[in-house]
Structures are given as C-alpha cells and as structure tokens.
Amino acid sequence: MLDIKFIRENKELVKENIRNKFQDEKLPLVDEVIDLDIKIRELKQKGDTLRQDRNTISNEIGILVKEKKLEKVEENKKKVSEINKTLIDIEKDEEELSKKLRDNMLVIPQMMDKTVPIGKDDSENVEVERFGEAFVRDYEIPYHADICESLSGLDKESAGRTSGNGFYYLVGDIARLHEATIAYARDFMISKGFTYCIPPFMIHSDVVTGVMSFPEMEAMMYKIENEDLYLIGTSEHSMIGKFQGQIIDEKSLPIAMTSYSPCFRKEVGAHGIEERGLYRVHQFEKQEMIVLCKKEDAMTWYNKMWSYTVEFFRSMDLSVRTLECCSGDLADLKVKSCDVEAWSPRQQKYFEVGSCSTLGDAQARRLGIRMKTEKGNEYVATLNNTVIASPRSLIAILEQNYQKDGSVKIPKVLQPYMGGLEVIKPKDNK
C-alpha cells in the first residue's frame, strides 16, 4: 500500500507504474483515491471547526449560568445539540469514505524498482545468470514420479484415496531425502546468522490481507470453516505477521529470521494440479527467510538473500539460474523479485524452485510495522526468500543425480542427514 501523500504528489508516476504492469483497469483508482482524500480532509477540517465552536459555546454556557442568563443558556445548549448531530453525520461520512479510500489503496500496486524489466507475463522474464552446467545425460532420465516409485518412495494412489488429487505419500529413503534437504537448509541459514523459527501454520484474515493482495489470497489460501483462520501458503505470512502493530527499536534492525513450515495452496489458475508428479501440489514443506530492515538497506539485503539460495543449491552441486521477474509477472505488493530455477536434464529446461522479493514498506503499512527513530516512527521494509521448497527441490536432486543403473546419488552435504547413506538404489539393485 502506497503513502497517500506520495500518490497525491506523484499522480502521473503512479499511473505510469500501473501502465507498466499492464493493469490499465486500475488507472481510474488513482483519481478516485485523490478525490476521496480531498473529501476526507475537508470533512476533518469541518469537524475540527465544529468541535472548536462547540467548546467555545460550552464554555460560554458555564459563564451564562453564573450570570443567570437562562434563556441564552438554553439557546447555546440547542446550538451544541445541533453541532453534535452534524458531527455524527460528518464522522459517519468520514468513516465510510476512509474505508473506501483504504479499499482502493489496497488495490493500487506498489511502485516497482526502476531496474524491473517491462513485460506482460512470465514469458518475458529475463535470465540473469547461470550457476553450474546445464548438462544433458547420454542416457534417458525418467519422469521424477517414476524415479520415486522405482525407489519405493512415492504413493500418490493412496493419497488420492485419503485426500484427493494434489496430495502424496513420501516413503522410505525418498522421505528421508526430502526431510534431509529441509534440515540442511535450516542449518545453512543458521550459519548465515539467521534466527530459526517455527511459526503458527494458521493466521487471521487481517494478517492475510496485510501480507498479500486479495486476488493472490483467493487463488492460494484455504479458509478454515466458521473460523477467522487461514492455512498459510508460506511461512512468510506468519513471520511478517509476527510483527503486526509493533514499533521496533531502530537499533534492533535488521531482523533476519529463517522459518520452517508446511505450506498449503489451492493452486487455482491456469497451471492446475499435476496428476502424477510433485511439481504443483496442495501441500509441501518449506524453509523460508524473512528480513525486516530500514528501507535504504532493502536492496542490499535483497541481493544477499537470493545469493544465499544460489549458494545453498550449489553446495549440493545442483545447477541453477536466476531469472528477473518482469513487471507483468510481479505481484502488486512487490518492488522487485527474482526466481531461482533448477536445471531439469530430463526436460532440458529450468524450473522454479524459489523466489526472492523485496516489498518496500507495502506490508509494513498494511500491518502497521514501524521502527522508532530519533526523527519519529517510520515504516520498515520487508523481504522474503525461499531457501528451499520440497518436493520441488527433491525433483532437482533426483533428476540431476539420477544414474544409469536407476540409482540416485545423495549430495555429500546431505549424507550426514541420511545416516551416511551415499546412494539410494532400486530394490532389485540392493
């Protein structure tokens, strides 16, 4: 959510930002917001004037009572009563207009960073850099679900009976490998100075609307029936919500935390849910990183955070690349975002395994997260980044480490989390 003062003083800049996001239908909101702001300020001024008049008349009543000018007392009481009635109407109008103003403000997108490439959708995202070789094997690499099944590690048929499409059972060494990546990600981020946290997996609606836009919420979040609770789609939601309404001492910043959680997503949209695979599912696990910092430090942290994810994947000897998200693919609260994608030797293309975003003060404004400075209270900047999301990371490990004999090599850094196991072999190879 932008500062109304910024919109007031930079109307054309805000409109240009909307055009660059290819959201022309939102352009009228800018003029409407400015008009609402004028009306609200006029009502406030009128209300303040009436309150001053009421105070003056009320003070006069006391004097008139002492002077026993009873007729004048009644006249003034009538004036006070009329002012009170008018104030009730003004306050009602002000409340209604303020709600409408906030609703519109929540829809106007955050100002993007000047370096964000302009493009209509994710097909126009821009590759930044590759890390590791985009190799192709001289033997066929099966579909990742088939690899898992050959290693007795996946059961989607049973999950279909218990839970429906989009769910899965991970079994045996594949389940261990999945959890090993999460545990290693936790320790990796702790070594970078991040504080480990396990957050609530359900949050209130005011936190949901504080961390994401309404269309995102509708497409992602599962609501708990008859409760003001939603299942989180990522632990960022709980972690940023942790600071809702707080005033943080400037000296406490930056706050850098890494969090584990299961994640739940409806996955509504064009992509849909995979019938057999693990790429797009309703439930997965994730190690996240979030940072709260001063706005002037946000871009430095942004570059640190995505580089940590690249370093993490490279430590497992996995080939990845970074992809700059274009304007049309950038969520409305984000200032800048990039994806980390892993190489698929089977498909001979990259696929998303994580995303890093800086949101400026958008979430902080919605949730009322400020820092206390010598000059007064200011909104903080918030950032989030995926360390790892499994089973997507599991797909990358399986494909890039699949051997001709059907076995899968375990990256060295994960072996201590697997009891020293170096290779997962099909049953008939053991």
Question: Where does the pLDDT of residue 212 fall: very low under 50, low under 70, confident under 90, or very high at 90 and above?
Answer: confident
Predicted local distance difference test score (pLDDT) of residue 427:
78
Q: 378-397: per-residue pLDDT in tens?
A: 999 999 999 999 999 999 99
Quick one: tokens of 427? 């049953």
- More confident position, 20 or 72: 20
Least confident of 92-106, 180-194, 211-225, 264-278: 264-278
- More confident position, 371 or 64: 371
Predicted local distance difference test score (pLDDT) of residue 88:
95
Candidates 386, 372, 382; CA nearest to 240 is: 382
Candidates 240, 241, 258; CA nearest to 195 is: 258
Candidates 24, 12, 10, 5; CA nearest to 327 is: 24
Q: Please spell the DSSP secondary structure of 163-204, one letter per residue.
A: T-TT--EE-HHHHHHHHHHHHHHHHHHHHTTPEEE---SEE-
| Overall pTM surpassing 0.85 (yes/no) | yes
Q: 265-316: per-residue pLDDT in tens?
A: 997 654 556 667 899 899 999 999 999 999 999 999 999 999 999 999 999 9
Compute how many other C-beta atoms are within 10 angstroms of the C-beta atom of residue 271.
9
Enumerate residues 6+ apart whose C-beta is below 8 A from 122.
Answer: 325, 326, 328, 329
Checking if the pLDDT of 160 tops 80, the result is yes
Predicted local distance difference test score (pLDDT) of residue 70:
79
Is-contact 244 210, C-beta < 8 A? Answer: yes
Is-contact 258 196, C-beta < 8 A? Answer: yes
Predicted local distance difference test score (pLDDT) of residue 378:
96
